[in-house]
A and B are shown apart, each in its own frame.
Chain A
Amino acid sequence: MAKIDTSFFDIGRLDRLAQQHTAVHRLDPRAKLLTTMAFLMAVVSFPKYEISALLPFFLYPIVLVTAGQLPVGFIIRKIVVVAPFAVMVGIFNPFFDREILVHLGPFSISGGWISFASILLRFCLTIGTAFLLIATTSFHGLCLALLRLGLPKVLTIQLLFLYRYIFVLGGEAMRLVRARALRSFGKRGLGMKVFASVVGHLLLRTLDRAQRIHRAMLSRGFDGEVRVLRPLHIAPRDVLFTLGWWAAFAVMRTYNLPQLMGAILTRALS
């Protein structure tokens, strides 16, 4: 149970990290969002056996972590928590794709292993950067950016409310699960039937809470429109940040930099 608690409240920590005031944190959310989206597109668009050309892309998350003064260990742990999904996606590649692509002395590596490694690399890059985006922008900063970039208001408000109440809902669920665990000795009481009733309870409570929140909103003059008071300003540094990274991603995507460097080195040595 302790495990649920901690991994759950770590989401809150991600948000607290976003409260810092570094150069990265001060950038306009839109700049970071657009840059990260370009990054993701560049990373996922590589062919499936690509490994070396992906490596330069680590520059972006590394810069974010350093400039944003974020705890590396924490981010890596977050990535590891979701890693099983990526492993599940790629784990069968080595079995189906046995064609030998690379010979390293006595060892030969099949295409399956290479594409598996490529999947894991991409996973680390994309998920890591997504976490970093939240840790430097905060979730509601992101929602605001999405809103300004044209996402319908209804959707952004939903996202905001989801994020606001996921903590409350999670807390409620945790208390229910704990209460059940404390009164069910061994296996008894942990069956499907009890679980169904716990989930049902949670749903009813959620509905009740939704009603109370709506009441609270109405009593403060809510008329269907959520107004946000936070002007966003695009500064020259935001444009510079976005365009600079876009250019960098374009170069990294077009040229295989590690290969080029290797070629230059071998030519210089020979």
Chain B
Amino acid sequence: MSHHIVEVVDLRYSYPDGTKALKGISFRITHGESVAVVGANGAGKSTLLLHLNGYLTPQHGTVRIGDYPLTKETLQEIRRTVGMVFQDPDDQLFMPTVHEDVAFGPLNLGLPSHEVELRVTAALERVGATALKNRAPYHLSGGEKRAVAIATVLAMSPDILVMDEPSSNLDPAARRRLINLLKSFQHTKIIATHDLDMVMDLCPRTIVFHHGKVAADGPTEEIFRDEALLEACGLEKIQRLQRCPVCGA
């Protein structure tokens, strides 16, 4: 597939309890873009992510991933195209060893075992976790778990990476390593996060969610300087764009 686009048109979703999580979302992300989805808790970010790999099907509006609209028939193809990294690596690493976990996806794709081996090795190497191959996931540190979780997705060779809070619960060094790793990926990236500082480093474009709607969509730098907008959406100007509290410069 040559066009790794993600297109969402007038997407609406209400949970069974009546909560309107998405109230008409539209955006289009083109090939190779790196986009941050930010917004306060409950703004609808997670609900949107669940649509992107077909866990939820649109109640209204459409989601297009690459050349396919999201429907029951295209589900498998879309799940292969979109690699989803979940917020809690413990949810994502469910197999007894790291190696088996990374192999889980490729085996489900029906690849022959030598090809699976190649992909597992390549994916673990890519995230610098080759040494963890035979370890059990519950013996890993937070940073290692996150790296392996990303490897499990890379092994499926997705075109689009969707990540939910990739930098949460990481120590500063592990967070920096993660940012550098993500920077090196060529994939189309969609990152939902509260870590606006990381967004500055990774995503040239930002979509701001507010109460289930898109409040702003544009260049990250521009949005992050708009203090009124940030405050209205439950966000805060990041430190490096603020004046120095000591010298005022």
To the question of whether A and B form a pair in one complex, the answer is yes
Taking Cβ atoms with an 8 Å cutoff, the residues of A that contact B are: 12, 15-16, 19, 138-140, 143, 160-161, 163-165, 167-168, 209, 212-213, 215-223, 225-230
Q: A163-B96, A212-B86, A230-B100 are in contact. Are A12 and B138 (CB under 8 A)?
A: yes
Q: A218-B55, A219-B84, A221-B80 are in contact. Are A228 and B100 (CB under 8 A)?
A: yes
Minimum Cβ distance to chain B for residue A18 (Å): 10
A165 vs B96: C-alpha distance when bound (angstroms)? 10
A185 vs B12: C-alpha distance when bound (angstroms)? 48
Q: Among B79, B96, B108, which residue has its beta carbon within 8 angstroms of that of A140?
A: B96
B138 touches A216 (CB 8 A): no
B138 touches A168 (CB 8 A): yes
Q: Does B116 interact with chain A (Cβ within 8 Å)? A: yes
B94 touches A219 (CB 8 A): no
A19 vs B136: C-alpha distance when bound (angstroms)? 10
A-B contact pairs, 20 of them (CB 8 A): A12-B138, A16-B139, A19-B134, A19-B135, A160-B95, A161-B94, A167-B138, A168-B138, A209-B91, A213-B91, A213-B94, A215-B55, A217-B94, A220-B108, A220-B152, A221-B108, A225-B108, A226-B104, A229-B99, A229-B113
CB-nearest residue of chain B to A210 = B91
Q: Mark B74-118, 1 if CB is under 8 A from A, else 0.
A: 001001101110101011101111011001110111000100110
A36 vs B86: C-alpha distance when bound (angstroms)? 41
Q: Does B8 interact with chain A (Cβ within 8 Å)? A: no
Q: Among A19, A168, A230, which residue has its beta carbon within 8 angstroms of that of B90?
A: A168
Q: Among A161, A164, A212, which residue has its beta carbon within 8 angstroms of that of B137?
A: A164
CB-nearest residue of chain A to B155 = A220
Residues of A within 8 A of B138 (CB): 12, 164, 167-168
Residues of B within 8 A of A160 (CB): 95-96
Minimum Cβ distance to chain B for residue A22 (Å): 15
Residues of B within 8 A of A218 (CB): 55, 79
B156 touches A220 (CB 8 A): yes
Q: A15-B136, A164-B138, A216-B86 are in contact. Are A221 and B91 (CB under 8 A)?
A: no
B107 touches A229 (CB 8 A): yes
Q: Mark B149-190, 1 if CB is under 8 A from A, else 0.
A: 000110010000000000000000000000000000000000
Q: Is the interface of B mostly helix, strand, loop or mixed?
A: helix
Residues of A within 8 A of B139 (CB): 12, 16
Q: Among B53, B108, B135, which residue has its beta carbon within 8 angstroms of that of A222?
A: B108
A247 vs B83: C-alpha distance when bound (angstroms)? 54
Residues of A within 8 A of B76 (CB): 221
A220 touches B91 (CB 8 A): no
A139 vs B105: C-alpha distance when bound (angstroms)? 22
Residues of B within 8 A of A16 (CB): 139
Minimum Cβ distance to chain A for residue B34 (Å): 20
A221 touches B136 (CB 8 A): no
- 15 further contact pairs, Cβ within 8 A, besides A219-B84, A229-B100: A140-B97, A164-B96, A165-B94, A209-B90, A209-B91, A212-B88, A216-B86, A218-B79, A220-B79, A220-B105, A220-B152, A220-B156, A221-B108, A226-B104, A229-B107
B116 touches A229 (CB 8 A): yes
Residues of B within 8 A of A12 (CB): 136, 138-139
Minimum Cβ distance to chain A for residue B232 (Å): 31
A196 vs B97: C-alpha distance when bound (angstroms)? 34
Residues of B within 8 A of A215 (CB): 50, 55, 86, 91
Residues of B within 8 A of A140 (CB): 96-97
Residues of A within 8 A of B95 (CB): 160, 164
CB-nearest residue of chain A to B153 = A220
A204 vs B47: C-alpha distance when bound (angstroms)? 20
Residues of A within 8 A of B91 (CB): 209, 212-213, 215-216
A223 vs B79: C-alpha distance when bound (angstroms)? 12
**Which of B82, B107, B109 has the most CB atoms of chain A within a 10 A radius of its CB?**
B107
CB-nearest residue of chain B to A220 = B105
A139 touches B108 (CB 8 A): no
Q: Mark B2-25, 1 if CB is under 8 A from A, else 0.
A: 000000000000000000000000
